[in-house]
Amino acid sequence: METPGYIKYEKWAIIPVTATSKAVTRIDAKLPANAVHCTGVAFTICDIQGTFNPDYMGEISLSFNNRKSHPLNFPVECKTNRFRLDELILKLEEPVRGGSHVTGYFRNLLSNAYQLKVYIQCIALTKP
């Protein structure tokens, strides 16, 4: 991944997902154009009302590089946006093409509607 003349830095892509009651929500987002590697994924839950089982909120499945690789199918636990993301990251080692799409779905297991945020940690390149 060494590219002469470029500087590597960490970049986050944030994908908001509106989870409706007991439904499957499609995910389709574009990665930053200068992203070259995905190193982790984290999730937080926002705007949830009422009572719920905090253990499993749903299931997420993500594909990278316009559906050419499928590194993630994972149960999502309740984590509010007050938690530190470095403690929540699911480690990945996924080379990505800048500007490619992240696609997949989130299956909500609850009767509540809420906002899920998917944080994708990337390594990006820039010219000095």
Output the pLDDT for position 51.
56
Q: Domain 7-126 has what CATH class?
A: mainly beta
* CA 32 distance to own-chain centroid: 13
User: What tokens were used for 50?
Assistant: 């009422």
- Mean pLDDT, the chain, rounded, equals 84
Q: What ranges make up the beta strands (E) of 7-57?
A: 7-19, 24-30, 35-46
Confidence of residue 56 (pLDDT cuts 50, 70, 90): confident
User: Quick one: which of 55, 57, 128, 71 has its CA closest to 104?
Assistant: 71
> Can you give the pLDDT at residue 74?
83
pLDDT band at 52 (very low <50, low <70, confident <90, very high): low
